Structure 1
Amino acid sequence: MDTHWKNLYPDVTAAGGLVSAMKKAAKLGRGEIWPEPSTSDGIIIATARGNVSVVPAAEERLFRVRVHIPGCAWDIPGFNWEIGSTDDLGLLVEAVTAWREGVPFDELAARFTFLKLDEFAGALERGEPTASQWADLLSAEFHRGQWSLLRRLHSDEVLGNMFPVISHRAVRLRVDLFDGASRQVRVYEPDEGRYEVCGVPEATWVEVPSGDLIAYLRAALTEQ
């Protein structure tokens, strides 16, 4: 950690790092959080509305805040939204705590003016990024080989609301966008009209007749 960084973040340096500094601020009555160290100078805080990451800027004193929708071990890393930045560590802790506690978006925006939630909240209200992800996959030339399967899945009123990802030519459907460990299933079409299905993380693929595919997937994703 160089002298310039120490000069920008003397409170963070004195506390022994961002994790310790945020915990210290929380103990001083400015909220309660449980930050988890990341692989960079920033941290990640797990919440029910996506993981919140806090990364200190290098060029000026500024804590950048992002919401990360997690991926999982079987797909791409995930999705990120920039939702604001502040130079006030205590205010940052209060905002992250309120986010973690589920304070409504409009109340968050009113209380913490450094947060810019219009795009993020709007995406959720419009059913995105799930809807956007479907649209992207169905229009990407790179995934032309999966278009037929994607259209069939998307046209179903239940499966079309699942979050889709393509990995190794298989379509993976996930129930809960915010939970990388939520119920999910992979579908592969090795030949036209022939389907293989595999639960996640189980590695056993089962061939499913075309006429049974939708019902099979619905059951795998929704039955308790």
Structure 2
Amino acid sequence: MEAREEDPYPDVTAAGGLAPALREEAERRGRDVGLPPWATDALGIETTRGYLSVDTEPGERLFRLRVHIPDFGWDIGSTDDLGTLVEAIAAWREDVLLDELAARFGFLDLAGFTGALEAGEPTTTQWAALLSSEYHRGQRSLLLRLHADEVLRNAFPTMTHHAVRLRADPMDWASRQVLVRATDGGRHEIVRVGTHGADWTEVPDDELITRLRAALDDERA
């Protein structure tokens, strides 16, 4: 008779899955891990520094924590302690400074993540991808002009229906954003995303960069 393999995650099994187990542990501790009652997995936990996700290691007890935005991701540590994991997720969502997080939670390894941010990633890689994309060849002239500006090149760029979207913070999807597009006749229009009643506004060519900078400037927002 074969020996029955021991479950390394009895608390997760008893809760009915990883997401319910995280919610239950968070409730016991009076913490918030950002998982709504209907969430069935521990993916896409929204924070102001990207999205957190948790998965488990098959065959051994290990919870792996990862931070990511679309197309970019970093593994930031693993632990066998569900309670410690909950505390770390809650602290991350509360915007505790990264140095303090690393000091408080020994299982976190933030060197790769912080090093990427200090090196200008993922913004630098995203600009390179857009500027070399044949699919966005029609917007290349505008992209080159935006990237040439020392301020705008630090904004995170994406494409939305042939318009360039510039986001102030690459890790925060809700941070200040502005859309800019070229129109017929070589003119440009911009719109500040998230502003009530905002609509496309034509901008004189010699004011384009200044207006885009202002839209992304917290002090002028």
Deviations 1:146-179 (A, max 9, x none): 2211111122232222111112211001122232
**Cα distance, 1:57–1:13 mapped onto 2, change above 3 Å:** same
CA RMSD between the two structures: 3.1
What residue is the counterpart of 2:192 in the other structure?
Answer: 199
Q: In the alignment, is the contact (CA less than 8 A) between 1:9 and 1:61 conserved in 2?
A: yes
CA distance in 2, matches of 1:22, 1:214: 46
2:50 maps to amino acid: G
Look up the SS of the partner of 2:183 in the other structure: strand
- Aligned partner (choices 83, 92, 96) of residue 90 of structure 1: 83
Look up the SS of the partner of 1:180 in the other structure: coil
CA distance in 1, matches of 2:60, 2:66: 17
CA distance in 2, matches of 1:108, 1:220: 32
* Equivalences, count: 212
Q: CA deviation at 1:116?
A: 3.2
What residue is the counterpart of 1:53 in the other structure?
Answer: 53
**Cα distance, 1:14–1:131 mapped onto 2, change above 3 Å:** same
TM-score by length of 1: 0.76
Is 1:15 the counterpart of 2:15? The answer is yes
What residue is the counterpart of 1:214 in the other structure?
Answer: 209
What residue is the counterpart of 2:68 in the other structure?
Answer: 68
Q: CA deviation at 1:8?
A: 4.1
Q: CA deviation at 1:111?
A: 5.4
**Cα distance, 1:199–1:7 mapped onto 2, change above 3 Å:** same
TM-score by length of 2: 0.77
Q: CA deviation at 1:57?
A: 4.5
Is 1:41 the counterpart of 2:41? The answer is yes
Q: Which runs of 5+ in 1 are unaligned?
A: 70-76
Percent same amino acid at aligned positions?
Answer: 58
Look up the SS of the partner of 1:124 in the other structure: helix
Matches within 5 A, 1:1-224: 7-26=7-26, 32-37=31-36, 40-57=40-57, 60-69=60-69, 77=70, 79-106=72-99, 108-109=101-102, 112-191=105-184, 193-201=186-194, 204-222=199-217, 223-224=220-221
1:168 maps to amino acid: H
**Cα distance, 1:44–1:133 mapped onto 2, change above 3 Å:** closer
Q: CA deviation at 1:19?
A: 3.8
2:211 maps to amino acid: Y
Look up the SS of the partner of 2:135 in the other structure: helix
Look up the SS of the partner of 1:150 in the other structure: helix
CA distance in 2, matches of 1:132, 1:35: 29
CA distance in 1, matches of 2:52, 2:199: 34
Look up the SS of the partner of 1:171 in the other structure: strand
**Cα distance, 1:63–1:184 mapped onto 2, change above 3 Å:** same
Q: Which runs of 5+ in 2 are unaligned?
A: none
Runs of 4+ in 1 over 6 A off after TM superposition: none
2:68 maps to amino acid: H
**Cα distance, 1:41–1:19 mapped onto 2, change above 3 Å:** closer
